[in-house]
Amino acid sequence: MHIPDGYLGPATYLAAYGAMVPFWSAAAARLKRTLSLRRVPFLALGAAFTFLVMMFNVPIPGGTTGHAVGSVLVAVLLGPWAAVAAVSVSLLVQALLFGDGGITAYGANCLTMAVVMPFTGWWVYRVFSRGAAPNALRRSLAAAAGGYVGLNLAALATAVLFGIQPALAPDASGRALYCPFPLSIAIPAMAAEHLLLFGFVEAAVTGLVVAALARTEPNLLQEPEGSAGAADAQPRWKRWALALLVIALFTPLGLALPGLFGAGDAWGEWGAEDLAEKAGYLPAGLQRLEGLWKAPMPDYAPPGGEETTLLVQSLWYIVSAVTGAVLVGGAAWGLRRLLGGRESHGPSS
Amino acid sequence: MDLLPEWIQPGLVPPSTPAPASNFASRTARRALGRIVRASALLMGGGETAEGFLAGIDARAKLLGVLALLVAATLARRPESLAAAAGAAWVVALAGGVNLRRVSLVLSFVPLFGLVLALPAALSPVTPGQPLLVLLRYPAGSWGPWHWPADLSVTAGGVYVALRLLLRTTACLSLGALLTASTPGPALWRALGGLGVPAVFTMTAGMMARYLDLLLRAAEEVHLAKISRGGSKGAGFERAWAAASLGEIYQRTRRLADEVTRAMVSRGFTGEVRLLKDGRFGVKEVLFLAAAFTGAVALALG
């Protein structure tokens, strides 16, 4: 995952440094506010801990081993902004003292491993662990899911940085100056190894360390940085519902705006008739599979489709949006209940 | 004599046990231990031991000069220029009396990592062109965004691209290793502070490097204990062991952080960062920077 020097062109690594500046500034400002410089040892040792996480090999299916990155684990333990600082410092020491990860690629490595990974992983952890007791099984599972998602998204970001190099910086003969693998190779290669192997290592390490700490020192798993916990879960839920409702009310814009700008269907989202018209024929496989499933609310349109008035279509659009949001929200709630039903609510010992 | 337990009595042959090296758990632990020992060696063999003209140059000048050369190495287009840059870094390292063992330790993973990434670039699906060596023949085709030629071959263009990539990585790593092998860690963090990096980061980096050695030793002990006990109870046990060890090290980390904070506060630390006085920019520094910037321009344009 550590990008060495020479794999990214100046346009990419300078842009990555530029993208990191607001994150570093915000992290420094937040840490000053919440941590104070007197607590620097915690941050320093947190950074050292992220380094140590990589020193532990974990067996993965197939008889091989891998090591975790640890960014999500640090985000779970110290909070995402502290993770930005701790992982950035850890990557700096790795780049300067150990040659692991490049100096020019340092900004890009921070973007993937100190921003994308801890934030996405921490969000997943927060969603699934909200309201869980520090020693609940759900908290460990949420941490494992956060580790898996965080690592895979970081790998995807790395693959994109690699994959855009041939298009961004070819030499006079059209050959790649830096990483030679296009997106069509970089993304599947990175995705395959991280989805199938290293994602599980990260998940195992993150989840199991949280479980181990939950048993021995559950107070370490209190919500860091004054983040909202179970107490305000209900008001937050209501705010989310209100925000979704407002967004649903605006969805008819999706009907009006394309007509206003003369836009057609989104590329690749054609129906069978549209495709037959564009391509001149209808592929046999598509013809066979097209009628396999009849959607109850096709095209988010009322019965009668475009022949009805714009007002009816708009109302139907809003109904579709609310129905979809309720179904997705219900599924997430059900999943949470399902996982929550297995947790233990014992007092912290 | 009978007072001694049986297992400590002289002449007793210990019962034969399966060699711990042969099992999966031991192999895993040994591999991890190798990484820890290598990291410790890199930490211990830092710029503190460096002598020669490079060690006498102000860290800020070295940092600026090496950064300029690194940017130039990423701008260079010809493999010859990159090879010259890597060679020049080694010549300067030799002449400057830096710790070559440390440079070679940093570079030790280049062949493996570089080859793994660079070798596929030499193949026809990645870099089409004049085939030098045909490895496999099969029908040409395409699927979605993927197109494959009628054969899998090493192409001339591919070899050029792979070689350039490998040389670029080697040149950059050699330059980076030159900086760190000739500069003590604390001076490096001070130099970063001098170039505008916020104190919270440089101070944290300095402290991290200082305490990393201690924590690496803790990790080493955990692995050694694991190897000495031998035996494996399966992959699930191994995962649980790694997690429990990491949990224990995290707790140790927090306790250590607490102790360090209390020690710092008791010595009058209020959160204000006071850095040791920086060195002065003298003739040596100006000459070094002039040479580095000239080299950087030549490398970028060459």
Q: Could you list the pLDDT tens digit for every one of the 349 residues in chain A?
A: 788 888 888 889 999 999 999 998 888 887 776 655 556 677 777 777 777 777 666 665 555 556 678 889 888 888 888 889 888 988 888 888 777 788 899 999 999 999 999 999 999 999 888 877 777 888 889 999 999 999 999 999 999 999 898 888 888 787 888 888 888 888 888 888 888 888 888 888 888 888 888 887 777 676 554 444 444 445 556 666 777 777 777 777 776 666 655 556 656 666 777 777 777 777 777 777 777 777 777 777 777 777 777 778 778 878 877 777 777 777 767 766 665 554 444 433 3
Contacts of B269 in chain A (CB under 8 A): 38
Cα dist from A125 to A18, A99, A119, A327, A328, whole Å: 28, 32, 10, 22, 18
Contacts of A93 in chain B (CB under 8 A): 205, 208-209, 212
Q: Of A10, A96, A98, which has the smallest distance from its Cβ to B75's Cβ?
A: A10
H helix or E strand, kind and range, residue A254: helix A253-261
Residue type, B61: A
Judge whether A60 and A200 are in contact, CB under 8 Å.
Answer: yes
Given the structure tokens 């007793």, which residue do they identify?
B12
Go through chain B and tell me how many residues it has: 302
Q: Residue A162 and residue A144: Cα distance in Å, rounded?
A: 27
Residue B54 bridge partners (DSSP): none
- The DSSP code sequence of B223-248 is HHHHHHH-----HHHHHHHHHHHHHH
pLDDT of res. B19: 47
Judge whether B212 and A93 are in contact, CB under 8 Å.
Answer: yes
Distance from CA of A332 to the nearest CA of B (A): 29
> pLDDT per residue over A242-259, tens digit each?
777 777 777 777 766 666
> pLDDT per residue over B258-294, tens digit each?
777 778 777 777 655 565 555 677 888 888 899 999 9
B61-90 burial, b at 16+ Cβ within 10 Å, e below that, comes to: bbbbbbbbbbbbbbbbeebebbbbbbebbb
Q: What angle do CA A212, B207, A21 make, to 5 degrees?
A: 90
Mutate which of A103, A141, A158 to disrupt the B interface (most B C-beta within 10 Å)? A103
Q: Of A7, A97, A175, which has the smallest distance from its Cβ to B161's Cβ?
A: A175
Q: Which token pair is A97?
A: 């003292």
Reported pTM: 0.69
Around Cβ B248, how many Cβ atoms within 10 Å?
16
DSSP H stretches of helix in B96-152: 100-107, 110-118
Distance from CA of A230 to the nearest CA of B (A): 25
Task: State whether A103 and B35 contact (CB < 8 Å).
Answer: no
Q: Residue B158 and residue A4: Cα distance in Å, rounded?
A: 20
Around Cβ B214, how many Cβ atoms within 10 Å?
13
Category of A53 on φ-ψ map: left (φ > 0), alpha (ψ -120 to 50) or beta: alpha
